[in-house]
Structure 1
């Protein structure tokens, strides 16, 4: 496998394999093999089969002779293409920023080499495209599919950014924590503390257009016009208006030799570096060096560090390219819309310093008690000797291949971020130097964290850097797997990536904490990863990054805070690690040895992760789970296909428990049987595969053994297999019996919960163009709301595959994990207070008096069902009554069922279960989510004889509305909060009011027709009433056969019809007048059972009879 670049900037993995004569090679199988063992980004883009590998005279593979692959014919089995407009836009942005030719919607951002700085670039590009995104959303939703489901756009293509001023920003600006840190350092040469870039510029250059472009940068990015004032040692800043010309200079060096050119260039660069002035200006200088018509020129940009940082440079260079192109074409310069200004951000930071959110961080930073072990030194020194003038540097570099392995193999293999690896290597290198297992370092970050609602810094220029001390501990004798996990988890514990430390130390009103933080011992080492600079300048850009020196960024007398500063970055496809040290304190060979140990540690990590059998999952990888490291290592560490792990919903937990307890009965197995005609079998199965790929819940399995609580696991890939059974040889009148017999056995098979998919697909061929399709799945995956959504997605996929058209109609999918995250945020204490009050005084479950006596322990359980459908006229009457009374049809059915239970039990206080949708309205996109959202909760109904039926029904509906606020509560908790004795069920019957796909002729735009749809399911409750609304309201009773006679069930359904009629006919009557006996029963009571008429002797008196 090699990396090819057949088009400039488009690098792709290509696999070459040698055929074996006796074997036919299927490249699709090869691709599946790769996909099963390596992440998606490591699956080759193309496979080339050769009779033999070309060799050099030395017997090595001649890479230059390997043929160019036919990319057009490559399979896309590992690649899921974008479906929607937003997915396509995001895919284009990712491809551009990450410089990868083809990115599928399920590819992971970090596995593709992304990092926090690149996430900011993606957010900036997305905002420009009218897609509202934040870096935090990328960290939490790491695929295009998940992001597309999350984002929103505005009608005019502009991003919906809050706290953004599009006009000129001027006036006073509060100092931020990093700026306060700078001024507190009392640098002797405060004006000379810069950052700079030296760029190549392709000739010919229009210098007037270049000057205009730089002027536009100064206009658009307000922080570049900042000025500073010192009043008695107290510094302040303000933004100037326009008017000052840009400090742009032209230097012609074309008349001297190349060696002289670059010597002179560095000399002038040093002069410009020393010429900035933070009080009077300028804060930016630009110099263009003309080196001759045949050579690329150089553009020097120098900006004081007070108003720029690493992310800002990426923004400036991108805008410089755009502005130069527009100026070159005599166009009006239009730069991307402004995001939150530096001024607004500073104001918000000062407000945030007083917020409850920051209050929660105080304990973390106050408890960072550590001791700084002094680094070994080669000679004694005074702090004043540690200046820039005596600073030296050593830079070591990984090869391009090693860097690719680090970013694209090591990081994904342990779900690491780049700082995890770089700091683990540093901890090990320092351990080898000092023997210490703890290191304390000052970490630097980009500081653009999402701590303020509505703020967007993705295209804002300024100094946002965060700096904070952190102690990292390792165990010297442990293997690299243990060390990586330990460092990773220690870094994940830092709240908001450390940005709160500076706010607490420099902006907080808590003076005691300020003093405590400032009194902490200062680390002697700083560490900063600057990101990937290959993405800073676009491939098509006029500008490139020059290799020559841009001059001295810092004045010679600048004071260094640390003995060692380690700065790393990726440029030219290579990781460069620079060690800055002071020659008055350390010898070169001392630091060189530590630096060598560092690179050796990096290579050891890469070697270890490549050969490790386990995946380095840690608890922070699964924030919605409750798993410690020991459980992760024991149960899931070897599974390379895990996408996510999270807890179960309340009903999922209940279903899992009952299904494991009753493994033979088929409880909660749902079966859909339908007729399909004129289908392509290949497209049929491919469409189901795409549907499973699209919905995470369909790739879910469950683990529970050895854990405190069960968890669900989503796998990246689950294979769909459709079983095909040919019944054409069976007599037509016997085919249905064969199918029903198969369904009985299929239901009894249940599912292995730890083996996805928890679904089965069976096609019965009944004639040449007609099939009966059985879709079986466990209810733990899907609720009634979700089932039609899945079928609609399948139909759309089938249509796209069969016709070759794009799936334009599919909405972006919101993953089920969003609902789990919402559940975790709910207040359980509030729910407990509600349920305790709701069930207060209810001491025993409502008996099902219509059942057989002494039948509770019948095993094994068998279920049957009976259904009655109310006529269209009766159903229309019920619906009209409900509308008039402002009631729901569900309320009427619940009222009728409560009356039935009361009538049989003789109780005026009954409780039964009901299913609630569980879909919170405040969760965006919840109406299109697929999963098990429903919950089963108790409904308590009391009968007040003073109420009319109408009043009673309205009270019942209000109870339902109240329950909706707490419908997320686990039933097991509600049971525990009730006064029903432990071990006794809270209710034995449930009412389900739902919409199932039940059309007898469902023809969709997909071209595939579904008809004769039947749904079969059973619960673990003795009695379940299912109400299915439609033109004819269907009432189905699913009953435990051992506990109820069929005749009684039929009678109860008749009584339900009668009660529903009585509720609407007698709404204004007292509740006590209501009767639920049927017309037939009334006739028996009044006529048949009262048939006492007889003939008497008419001539006899009474005593003679």
Structure 2
């Protein structure tokens, strides 16, 4: 745009071309007044451009890949460097010309819908920070697009061991200034949070080496506080100091100031629960989770803590201590419900929790055995069974118990059958039921695939475990195996309390006035709520609920996820709340009901003593959304946020007690209070990949059990690739096609509300373009039978018209006229051009 300001400049083009293509390869006209960074455009005449994946195959429109160039300008290679020539100049598998080659540019690009190339950065500038893969070039491009920036380079620094972070070095344009706050704010709308540099360093110029390239080794270390988007303000008193230290521990960050927001530092609902648990222990006060949402900075929350202390808002919950064992330990409320379900359907595998891990490297089998023996010794839950006395169940904790351990060798099978048999064995283990009265309720199977390739299959019953417990298990397996394989003793500290202590504590505390106070909120919240969600099904509902299930999945783009997170920030909510609200809107649109109740699990570990235990702590909350009238999505989100925070504050009521209190009409064909579940997986900043030792790497293997606890369970998870949606559906009710269509509608709905959160939830789009055409045209009979049957095409009809009236005017626009014959010629030219770009049938 600066060039356009010059009187002699009439047109600006962005030209791209590596030296290896000798001249320019692509071009794009930069429009006057353009607000976005220019693309590198379309290939010039005589140049072929391909965007390919790691296997050399074309990628879809919009997907990133490496740019390969071919054509008349291609160099022969590198003088005197045959190895490098062979690496970068590769055979052209798309050309019919013998000996044709392509040059691998190493540039990461993607095709736009208009057939132009967008430059994303260098393929070799990919790094991994805190578990996320980051393209440094993409960050640099986003920063370089800011009007105030002349030059920029982004690097990964590890100035302290284990503390990797992105640092941006920028040079401001003449007459401009650059500061961290404005740059970070500008990037937040364009990049995921993990790609925004944690520190910004402003330089007069970038250091260069003898070749004129940026000398990254000469870039200075950021000064303390350079990562702040505002001036760091140190704690002013002991309360603020303790809170800052707690946040540093929970969030895995350093030097938290009193103006830092818990959620902007990476906090979410699960971490917020841990933070409030530590605050309870540190200050001996009881604050609801809502307090952190209302006061997200250290300074604000410190005021609430001091107010609670001054008004005597002391702990009302008794301390959780170890208690003497009687031989007949009580069940927790959650365990009692699972035990009853097991009595109704003995032999069911619905509540099995399977996990499989592929182990590459040399496995020390003896160290692995010792690891699981120690796990069983440490955690009483893993040596617990359930007996009955006078009609009442109780826990029996064995003083010692060997792991139910088995070994299977598949390395004798042909390689093409090995993986198939492995999947079959894993599935069989996942579906093999437990006997709650016998135990053990935890088993391990080691499958040998080769000398350095094994798969470890672990299965536990939900009555002694939950999702959090699986993380505890993986973490402790890594620590113990590493120690035993190296001849060391266990590095893990002894546990202060066990699950049986928690069950006794819960039974002793959650009763009388305490229980009544919590139940009162739930009575009011769920008063008049329908107990059944009448979603359309593919088959009649069985008289007695069965738990046959399957899974469907969908990956939503990163950009959409970031847009949803931006909406969450605007409303002081979390991604969980946004996605839950969207799920409830979709269910309302499908069912036609305006009062939607959905179940969601909560960790139930709001005390620090429980964080390291294996056991069944998870509770289920019922979140109700009312969509009467025509509320906007933003209004529904605010309602869901308030309801969710209220539910968090009253999460101590076990779901079993809630069902007992509300006493809905019993229906054996469906679960009480809700039939649809929502879950969201979040990643703790302190959680990393488990690598027991240098010679062994672990990789999780998906285990898909053919069960479904509810009619539908939507699971969402943020991944490096985007927002992953997984739908577990009951196959007695739904077909796979229906499940996939439901996920597709969810994606369309999320895209719509991300663009306009103020639109009515009843007006937000659900149908993709093709499906919309299908239901508006083909299904209503408004097209010819030939088109409906797929035997007639638009281009076929156009060709027939050309034959009939070649010289008749077909198109007229701003004084220009084209005949049918001229349009056909131009269309054929465009088609040939598209084919050179690798576009074929069904290309998107």
| TM-score, length of structure 2 as denominator length | 0.58
Does structure 2 retain, via aligned residues, the 8 Å contact 1:87–1:144?
Answer: yes
Is 1:591 the counterpart of 2:744? The answer is: no
What does the per-residue CA deviation read over 1:649-690, in whole Å, with 9 as the maximum and x for residues that have no partner? xxxxxxxxxxxxxxxxxxxxxxxxxxxxxxxxxxxxxxxxxx
Indicate the residue corresponding to 2:222 in structure 1. 73
Indicate the residue corresponding to 1:397 in structure 2. 555
What does the per-residue CA deviation read over 1:421-479, in whole Å, with 9 as the maximum and x for residues that have no partner? 122111221232223222122332223346xxxx7322222111212444311256333
Residue 552 of structure 1: which of 705, 728, 751 is its match?
A: 705
Shift of 1:597: 1.9
Shift of 1:48: 8.2
Indicate the residue corresponding to 1:229 in structure 2. 387
Indicate the residue corresponding to 2:456 in structure 1. 299
Indicate the residue corresponding to 1:209 in structure 2. 367
- In structure 2, the CA distance between the partners of 1:88 and 1:322, relative to structure 1 (3 Å rule), is farther
Shift of 1:317: 1.5
Shift of 1:584: 3.6
CA distance in 2, matches of 1:336, 1:136: 30
Is 1:16 the counterpart of 2:143? The answer is: yes
Does structure 1 retain, via aligned residues, the 8 Å contact 2:334–2:654?
Answer: no
Is 1:240 the counterpart of 2:398? The answer is: yes
Residue 644 of structure 2: which of 478, 491, 505 is its match?
A: 491
Residue 180 of structure 1: which of 328, 331, 336 is its match?
A: 336
Shift of 1:221: 1.4
What does the per-residue CA deviation read over 1:544-580, in whole Å, with 9 as the maximum and x for residues that have no partner? 77453436375xxxxx663222233345564332222
CA-based RMSD of the aligned residues comes to 4.7
Q: Secondary structure at the match of 2:143?
A: strand
Indicate the residue corresponding to 1:370 in structure 2. 529
State how 1:909-928 maps to structure 2 within 5 Å: none
Indicate the residue corresponding to 1:504 in structure 2. 657
Residue 195 of structure 1: which of 343, 346, 353 is its match?
A: 353
What does the per-residue CA deviation read over 1:55-105, in whole Å, with 9 as the maximum and x for residues that have no partner? xxxxxxxxx999899572373452638779967865663454xxx798666
CA distance in 2, matches of 1:214, 1:170: 26
- In structure 2, the CA distance between the partners of 1:68 and 1:164, relative to structure 1 (3 Å rule), is farther
Indicate the residue corresponding to 1:569 in structure 2. 717
State how 1:736-815 maps to structure 2 within 5 Å: none
Q: Secondary structure at the match of 1:316?
A: helix
Indicate the residue corresponding to 1:528 in structure 2. 678
What does the per-residue CA deviation read over 1:940-959, in whole Å, with 9 as the maximum and x for residues that have no partner? xxxxxxxxxxxxxxxxxxxx
Is 1:380 the counterpart of 2:540? The answer is: yes
- In structure 2, the CA distance between the partners of 1:275 and 1:132, relative to structure 1 (3 Å rule), is farther
CA distance in 2, matches of 1:221, 1:376: 44
What does the per-residue CA deviation read over 1:809-852, in whole Å, with 9 as the maximum and x for residues that have no partner? xxxxxxxxxxxxxxxxxxxxxxxxxxxxxxxxxxxxxxxxxxxx
- In structure 2, the CA distance between the partners of 1:25 and 1:534, relative to structure 1 (3 Å rule), is farther
Indicate the residue corresponding to 2:579 in structure 1. 422
CA distance in 1, matches of 2:220, 2:465: 42
Is 1:314 the counterpart of 2:462? The answer is: no
CA distance in 1, matches of 2:259, 2:689: 26
Q: Secondary structure at the match of 1:198?
A: strand
Residue 630 of structure 2: which of 470, 474, 477 is its match?
A: 477
CA distance in 2, matches of 1:327, 1:170: 34
Shift of 1:307: 0.5
Shift of 1:36: 9.4
Is 1:443 the counterpart of 2:600? The answer is: yes
CA distance in 2, matches of 1:204, 1:338: 31
Does structure 2 retain, via aligned residues, the 8 Å contact 1:119–1:135?
Answer: no
- In structure 2, the CA distance between the partners of 1:571 and 1:303, relative to structure 1 (3 Å rule), is farther
CA distance in 2, matches of 1:113, 1:529: 19
- In structure 2, the CA distance between the partners of 1:168 and 1:439, relative to structure 1 (3 Å rule), is same
CA distance in 2, matches of 1:404, 1:548: 28
CA distance in 2, matches of 1:551, 1:32: 46
**Count of paired positions:** 569
Shift of 1:331: 2.0
Q: Secondary structure at the match of 1:422?
A: helix
- In structure 2, the CA distance between the partners of 1:27 and 1:370, relative to structure 1 (3 Å rule), is same
State how 1:1080-1099 maps to structure 2 within 5 Å: none
Does structure 2 retain, via aligned residues, the 8 Å contact 1:46–1:71?
Answer: no
Q: Secondary structure at the match of 1:108?
A: coil
- In structure 2, the CA distance between the partners of 1:49 and 1:41, relative to structure 1 (3 Å rule), is same
Does structure 2 retain, via aligned residues, the 8 Å contact 1:178–1:464?
Answer: yes
Does structure 1 retain, via aligned residues, the 8 Å contact 2:580–2:678?
Answer: no
Gaps of 5+ in 1: 54-63, 152-160, 555-559, 612-1105
Is 1:171 the counterpart of 2:298? The answer is: no
Shift of 1:107: 3.3
Does structure 2 retain, via aligned residues, the 8 Å contact 1:192–1:276?
Answer: no
Does structure 2 retain, via aligned residues, the 8 Å contact 1:193–1:304?
Answer: yes
CA distance in 2, matches of 1:126, 1:362: 25
CA distance in 1, matches of 2:681, 2:175: 41
Gaps of 5+ in 2: 1-36, 38-119, 152-171, 207-212, 307-317, 760-844
What does the per-residue CA deviation read over 1:1037-1064, in whole Å, with 9 as the maximum and x for residues that have no partner? xxxxxxxxxxxxxxxxxxxxxxxxxxxx
Indicate the residue corresponding to 1:347 in structure 2. 504
Does structure 2 retain, via aligned residues, the 8 Å contact 1:117–1:311?
Answer: no
Shift of 1:493: 3.2
State how 1:109-128 maps to structure 2 within 5 Å: 109-119=262-272
CA distance in 1, matches of 2:370, 2:300: 41
State how 1:883-962 maps to structure 2 within 5 Å: none
State how 1:1038-1077 maps to structure 2 within 5 Å: none
CA distance in 1, matches of 2:408, 2:301: 48
Q: Secondary structure at the match of 1:581?
A: strand
| TM-score, length of structure 1 as denominator length | 0.45
Is 1:458 the counterpart of 2:611? The answer is: yes
Shift of 1:315: 1.6
Does structure 2 retain, via aligned residues, the 8 Å contact 1:429–1:601?
Answer: yes
Q: Secondary structure at the match of 1:327?
A: helix
Give the structure with higher Rg (CA): 1
Indicate the residue corresponding to 1:433 in structure 2. 590
Does structure 1 retain, via aligned residues, the 8 Å contact 2:350–2:547?
Answer: no
What does the per-residue CA deviation read over 1:352-381, in whole Å, with 9 as the maximum and x for residues that have no partner? 332323212333333422223422223323
Does structure 2 retain, via aligned residues, the 8 Å contact 1:431–1:476?
Answer: no
CA distance in 2, matches of 1:280, 1:46: 57
Indicate the residue corresponding to 2:418 in structure 1. 261
CA distance in 2, matches of 1:607, 1:329: 55
- In structure 2, the CA distance between the partners of 1:319 and 1:478, relative to structure 1 (3 Å rule), is same
Q: Secondary structure at the match of 2:472?
A: helix
Q: Secondary structure at the match of 2:653?
A: helix
Does structure 2 retain, via aligned residues, the 8 Å contact 1:17–1:50?
Answer: no
Does structure 2 retain, via aligned residues, the 8 Å contact 1:441–1:527?
Answer: yes
CA distance in 2, matches of 1:66, 1:398: 38
State how 1:981-996 maps to structure 2 within 5 Å: none
CA distance in 1, matches of 2:622, 2:227: 47
Shift of 1:120: 6.0
Q: For structure 1, which segment, 352-361 or 495-504, has the greater mean C-alpha deviation from structure 2 after superposition?
A: 495-504
CA distance in 2, matches of 1:523, 1:321: 40
Q: Secondary structure at the match of 1:315?
A: helix
CA distance in 2, matches of 1:113, 1:106: 15
